[in-house]
Structure 1
Amino acid sequence: MRDNIHPNYRTVAFHDTRVDQYFLIGSTVETNKTVVRDGVEYPYMSLDVSSASHSFYTGEQRIHDGEGRVAQFKRRFKLSSK
């Protein structure tokens, strides 16, 4: 196996900023930021969405009304459908 061709695999602290939850996961992601968790310094990567905040996993899915975009346009401008 050749030297210096593989990415650096290490434990990284991923932070879901929406719900302020941290995940310690092995990763090859490159980052210059660090964070101290439980007395250990880890590379830090912030996330906008994770399984802790995504509506599919939390059960907070929104139900959309049945009216589509075309129907909304026709209703707004009172156009009859043919």
Structure 2
Amino acid sequence: MKKGIHPDYHPVVFLDSATGYKFVSGSTRNSSETVDYEGKEYPLIRVEISSDSHPFYTGRQKFTQADGRVDRFNKKYGFADKNANPNKEEAK
């Protein structure tokens, strides 16, 4: 390898912003934020997703609703389906 052309590879703390999970890994990224991790000061890099919050690693899959698009639209905007429960009006 040529000397002087590669970025500095140093340890940094990655923080999963969804769960608060922190881990140390080597990186070439720099940050103005620092954090004390296990008694040592490291640069802090915030990430949106890591192995602690990713559905593949956690086993918590995000399933879509069984309702159709029209039903979800009606629920979202407050439209009632008059045919969904015909006995509802008779009970009043």
TM-score by length of 2: 0.65
Q: Give the aligned length.
A: 73
**CA positional deviation for 1:6:** 1.2
Gapped regions of structure 1 (runs ≥ 5): 77-82
CA RMSD of aligned residues (A): 2.2
Q: Which has the larger radius of gyration?
A: 2
Distance 1:17 1:44 in 2: 12
Larger relative contact order, structure 1 or 2 (CA cutoff 8 Å, min sep 6): 1
Distance 2:42 2:58 in 1: 27
After superposition, give the CA deviation of every residue in 1:28-73 in whole Å (9 maximum; x if it has no partner). 112121111111000110111111001121111022356776xx4x
Q: Is residue 38 of structure 1 aligned with residue 45 of structure 2?
A: no
Higher helix residue share: 2
TM-score by length of 1: 0.71
Deviating runs (4+, > 6 A) in structure 1?
A: none
The letter for the 2-side match of 1:61 is: Q
Q: Is residue 57 of structure 1 aligned with residue 60 of structure 2?
A: no
Percent of residue pairs identical: 41
